[in-house]
Amino acid sequence: MTPWEIRGRELANCNCAYGCPCQFNALPTDGTCEAAVGYQIDKGHYGQVNLDGTRCGFIAKWPGPIHEGNGEMQIIIDESASSEQREALQKIMTGEDTEDMATMWWVFSAMAPSKLETLYKPIDLEIDVDGRRGRVVVPDVFEIEAEPIRNPVTGAEHRARIDLPHGFEYRLAEMGSGTTKTSGSIELKKNNSTYAQFADLHLSHKGVVEAAA
């Protein structure tokens, strides 16, 4: 197994209500899961391959809860990545060289047997975790816009966080409201002012690195 480790940030938008039942071992809001995610890797490596400054993401959907499988997904890696970086990110995001169940990528990949060809495209990405604002744009694939949840009466920004001491993705995530528009092979129809997640990530082939908690 090739050891790897990354530090970075993520912005994710799924079709569930704020809070996302998956985070509480409950079933999806409407029974299905549709999601788009973007990642900024600020610092990282895969073996001897430097991953500093790379970007990637994916789009996926499942006909039921993720744990029931039968999903389809497509990985996108920023076109600026070198051939070695592309190979490394592909392996990380498909759960290779990762202990069983150690990361969300391992789980998503295992539960999505239908994998479309990986795309190499420019990824325009901004993620402000503390401010709960961000955007991810992949031309001809998807566009995520996310902002803080708003009080329905006053319009004031509302802040909520999820703390997962034993999670396989993060330890603490900020909640937001996101909308995803798709234009690629996988179409998402339900992601309109739904659950958005902002998180600082520190992951390795063994899972969440506790020093970052």
For the segment 50-93, what is each residue's pLDDT rounded down to a tens digit?
Answer: 999 999 999 999 999 999 999 999 999 999 999 999 999 999 99
Percent of the chain with pLDDT over 70: 99
Q: Which two tokens stand for residue 149?
A: 């949840």
pLDDT digits (tens, 9 = 90+) for 174-194: 999 999 999 999 999 999 999
Question: Is the model's pTM score more than 0.75?
Answer: yes
Comparison of pLDDT for 131 and 212, the residue scoring more? 131
Question: What is the rounded average pLDDT of the residues 151-167?
Answer: 96
The pLDDT assigned to 212 comes to 44
Q: Is 178 within 8 Å of 191 (Cβ atoms)?
A: yes
pLDDT band at 213 (very low <50, low <70, confident <90, very high): very low
The pLDDT assigned to 211 comes to 67
Question: What is the rounded average pLDDT of the residues 14-19?
Answer: 97
pLDDT band at 210 (very low <50, low <70, confident <90, very high): confident
DSSP 117: P
Q: Pick the closest to residue 178 from 188, 165, 167 (CA basis).
A: 188
Q: Is the pLDDT of residue 14 over 90?
A: yes
The pLDDT assigned to 24 comes to 94
Q: Which two tokens stand for residue 32?
A: 């299905």
Q: Pick the closest to residue 2 from 57, 39, 32, 46 (CA basis).
A: 46
pLDDT digits (tens, 9 = 90+) for 90-134: 999 999 999 999 999 999 999 999 999 999 999 999 999 999 999
